[in-house]
Amino acid sequence: MTFPLLTDQVTQTLRAQGGRMTAQRRLILDVLQASDSHPTAEELYALARQSDPSLNLSTVYRTLNWLEERGFVSPRRFDDNHAHKHFDPVQPDGGHVHHFHCRKCDRVIEFSAPQVELLLEQIRGEIARQHGLRVDDAALVLSGLCMDCVAKS
Protein backbone atom coordinates (compact mmCIF):
# COMPACT_ATOMS: atom_id res chain seq x y z
CA MET A 1 0.00 0.00 0.00
CA THR A 2 1.36 3.45 -0.83
CA PHE A 3 0.26 6.90 0.25
CA PRO A 4 1.61 9.25 -2.36
CA LEU A 5 0.40 12.54 -0.92
CA LEU A 6 2.17 12.77 2.42
CA THR A 7 5.12 10.70 1.23
CA ASP A 8 5.62 13.05 -1.75
CA GLN A 9 5.45 16.13 0.46
CA VAL A 10 7.99 14.67 2.85
CA THR A 11 10.28 13.59 -0.02
CA GLN A 12 10.19 17.11 -1.50
CA THR A 13 10.96 18.72 1.86
CA LEU A 14 13.83 16.31 2.45
CA ARG A 15 15.25 17.04 -0.98
CA ALA A 16 14.98 20.80 -0.51
CA GLN A 17 17.02 20.43 2.67
CA GLY A 18 19.65 18.21 1.08
CA GLY A 19 18.32 15.05 2.72
CA ARG A 20 16.88 11.99 1.13
CA MET A 21 14.00 9.60 1.58
CA THR A 22 15.65 6.46 2.95
CA ALA A 23 13.92 3.09 2.85
CA GLN A 24 13.50 3.21 6.64
CA ARG A 25 11.98 6.69 6.64
CA ARG A 26 9.56 5.59 3.94
CA LEU A 27 8.70 2.47 5.89
CA ILE A 28 7.95 4.51 9.04
CA LEU A 29 5.74 6.86 7.02
CA ASP A 30 3.90 4.00 5.33
CA VAL A 31 3.27 2.20 8.60
CA LEU A 32 2.06 5.41 10.22
CA GLN A 33 -0.34 6.16 7.39
CA ALA A 34 -1.62 2.59 7.21
CA SER A 35 -2.36 2.48 10.91
CA ASP A 36 -5.75 3.56 12.17
CA SER A 37 -4.81 3.15 15.81
CA HIS A 38 -2.72 6.33 16.33
CA PRO A 39 0.40 4.43 17.26
CA THR A 40 2.99 5.54 19.78
CA ALA A 41 6.66 5.51 18.69
CA GLU A 42 7.07 2.12 20.37
CA GLU A 43 4.04 0.62 18.60
CA LEU A 44 5.19 2.05 15.29
CA TYR A 45 8.61 0.54 15.87
CA ALA A 46 7.09 -2.90 16.57
CA LEU A 47 4.95 -2.73 13.40
CA ALA A 48 7.73 -1.43 11.14
CA ARG A 49 10.20 -4.03 12.38
CA GLN A 50 8.01 -6.75 10.92
CA SER A 51 9.07 -5.42 7.49
CA ASP A 52 12.60 -4.39 8.41
CA PRO A 53 14.15 -6.15 11.42
CA SER A 54 17.25 -3.94 11.18
CA LEU A 55 15.25 -0.85 12.15
CA ASN A 56 16.08 0.57 15.55
CA LEU A 57 13.96 2.57 17.94
CA SER A 58 16.17 5.67 17.85
CA THR A 59 15.63 5.90 14.07
CA VAL A 60 11.88 5.85 14.70
CA TYR A 61 12.17 8.60 17.33
CA ARG A 62 14.44 10.72 15.13
CA THR A 63 12.14 10.33 12.13
CA LEU A 64 9.02 11.16 14.16
CA ASN A 65 10.69 14.24 15.69
CA TRP A 66 11.75 15.40 12.26
CA LEU A 67 8.22 14.89 10.87
CA GLU A 68 6.65 16.60 13.88
CA GLU A 69 8.94 19.66 13.63
CA ARG A 70 7.83 20.11 10.02
CA GLY A 71 4.16 19.57 10.72
CA PHE A 72 3.80 16.27 8.86
CA VAL A 73 2.56 14.40 11.89
CA SER A 74 0.70 15.63 14.90
CA PRO A 75 1.27 14.09 18.29
CA ARG A 76 -1.64 13.77 20.68
CA ARG A 77 -1.74 12.87 24.30
CA PHE A 78 -5.00 11.19 25.15
CA ASP A 79 -4.34 10.71 28.80
CA ASP A 80 -2.50 13.04 31.15
CA ASN A 81 -1.14 10.10 33.12
CA HIS A 82 0.00 8.44 29.95
CA ALA A 83 3.45 9.64 29.00
CA HIS A 84 3.26 8.31 25.45
CA LYS A 85 2.53 10.44 22.46
CA HIS A 86 0.29 8.94 19.80
CA PHE A 87 1.10 10.02 16.27
CA ASP A 88 -1.28 10.89 13.46
CA PRO A 89 -0.45 11.78 9.89
CA VAL A 90 -1.78 15.28 9.26
CA GLN A 91 -4.95 15.23 7.13
CA PRO A 92 -3.91 16.77 3.78
CA ASP A 93 -7.42 18.12 3.16
CA GLY A 94 -7.40 19.99 6.48
CA GLY A 95 -10.52 18.18 7.69
CA HIS A 96 -10.89 17.41 11.35
CA VAL A 97 -10.91 13.98 12.81
CA HIS A 98 -12.04 13.60 16.38
CA HIS A 99 -11.10 10.83 18.73
CA PHE A 100 -12.48 8.56 21.34
CA HIS A 101 -9.91 7.13 23.73
CA CYS A 102 -10.66 4.02 25.79
CA ARG A 103 -9.21 4.53 29.28
CA LYS A 104 -8.95 0.81 29.89
CA CYS A 105 -7.32 -0.67 26.78
CA ASP A 106 -5.92 2.58 25.32
CA ARG A 107 -7.71 1.99 22.04
CA VAL A 108 -8.39 5.04 19.90
CA ILE A 109 -11.43 5.31 17.62
CA GLU A 110 -11.71 8.05 15.02
CA PHE A 111 -14.91 9.78 14.14
CA SER A 112 -16.03 12.84 12.28
CA ALA A 113 -19.28 14.66 12.84
CA PRO A 114 -20.52 17.74 10.99
CA GLN A 115 -22.41 19.01 14.07
CA VAL A 116 -19.14 18.95 16.00
CA GLU A 117 -17.46 21.08 13.32
CA LEU A 118 -20.16 23.74 13.66
CA LEU A 119 -19.96 23.71 17.43
CA LEU A 120 -16.17 23.90 17.45
CA GLU A 121 -16.32 26.79 15.00
CA GLN A 122 -18.61 28.70 17.39
CA ILE A 123 -16.43 27.89 20.38
CA ARG A 124 -13.30 28.99 18.55
CA GLY A 125 -14.91 32.32 17.63
CA GLU A 126 -16.15 32.86 21.15
CA ILE A 127 -12.81 32.08 22.77
CA ALA A 128 -10.95 34.24 20.25
CA ARG A 129 -13.22 37.19 21.05
CA GLN A 130 -13.13 36.76 24.81
CA HIS A 131 -9.42 36.18 25.21
CA GLY A 132 -7.93 37.75 22.09
CA LEU A 133 -6.46 34.45 20.99
CA ARG A 134 -5.87 33.24 17.49
CA VAL A 135 -7.13 29.66 17.39
CA ASP A 136 -5.60 27.64 14.54
CA ASP A 137 -6.97 24.22 15.21
CA ALA A 138 -9.54 22.42 17.29
CA ALA A 139 -10.34 18.78 17.79
CA LEU A 140 -12.39 16.85 20.23
CA VAL A 141 -11.12 13.99 22.37
CA LEU A 142 -13.73 11.93 24.17
CA SER A 143 -12.81 9.24 26.63
CA GLY A 144 -14.48 6.36 28.36
CA LEU A 145 -14.81 2.64 27.71
CA CYS A 146 -14.89 1.07 24.23
CA MET A 147 -17.51 -1.58 23.32
CA ASP A 148 -15.17 -4.45 24.17
CA CYS A 149 -14.32 -3.04 27.58
CA VAL A 150 -17.98 -2.26 28.28
CA ALA A 151 -18.82 -5.89 27.43
CA LYS A 152 -16.08 -7.17 29.74
CA SER A 153 -16.98 -4.97 32.68
Point out which residues bind Zn ion (CB under 5 A): 102, 104-105, 107, 146, 149
Nearer to Zn ion, 9 or 35 (CB): 35
DSSP state of 91: P
Q: How far is the CB of 103 from Zn ion (least distance, A)?
A: 8
Q: How far is the CB of 82 from Zn ion (least distance, A)?
A: 14
Nearer to Zn ion, 2 or 143 (CB): 143
* 98/144 Cα distance (integer angstroms): 14
Query: Is residue 61 within 8 Å of 41, Cβ to Cβ?
Result: yes
Which H or E run includes 105? Answer: none
Query: Is residue 23 within 8 Å of 30, Cβ to Cβ?
Result: no
For the chain, how far is it from start to end, CA to CA, in angstroms?
Answer: 37
Q: How far is the CB of 109 from Zn ion (least distance, A)?
A: 9
Nearer to Zn ion, 44 or 102 (CB): 102
State how far the alpha carbon of 106 is from the alpha carbons of 33, 144, 152, 153, in Å.
Answer: 19, 10, 15, 15
Nearer to Zn ion, 69 or 80 (CB): 80
